[in-house]
Amino acid sequence: MINFVAWLFMLQLIPGPVQTQPGTTPNIKHIVVGRCFTYTTLINSSLSYDCEEIWRHFEEAVIHHPTCNVKVQHYHKMFNAMEEFWPCDRFLFWSKTRTLMHSYAAVFRHFWTLENTLVGFMFNELIWCGQEEESGFDFDSCPEWSACGDHPVFSLWRQASQKFAEMACGNITVLLNGSIADAFNRKR
């Protein structure tokens, strides 16, 4: 019995070719579409979006491409189906200050962060990737962001950040952590 346990332990130490994280968030379609309806019904009811169409464009972007080759442009149809515009002087950009940003935004409620946009609300804290061999999402494991250049989650957030920056106008607030030694390291 001890040899079997030792063998299992040693098996865990063997490095794999690509670092992985948990797979696609279970029930991702229900979560994303549900968040879309919540956003358009309760948070910003002045907007009208086809949540199912947004989901279809998202799904096409992810499952029809190799996991490490989901480029920003693969999400263009989805972003075109969910154009948003916000008033000037309300944009809050942040990096590596998530807890502080949430506290700050809770006190000064007039600020808008990427998480306040439809795409930010829908995809916040979710993980997703397609399967390499078959069509569909991989619910077992997804590569780490640092493992591939065009990671499906990273590409979506890169496009979302670009759209958010393009919307920004007037006075813009930026919240950064000035005490980080290697502040601009993508792997952190």
Q: 163: burial class by Cβ within 10 Å (0-12, 13-18, 19+)?
A: middle
Residues paired with 112 in a beta bridge: 91
| Residues 131, 141: Cα–Cα separation, whole Å | 9
Active site residue 68: no
Q: In angstroms, how far is the first alpha carbon of the chain from the final one? A: 40
Contact at 8 Å (CB) between 61 and 70? yes
Q: At what angle do helices 51-63 and 152-167 cross, to 10 degrees?
A: 130
Residues paired with 92 in a beta bridge: 173
**Catalytic one among 36, 51, 68, 88?**
88
Active site residue 51: no
Residue 95 three-state SS = strand
What positions carry a catalytic annotation? 88, 169
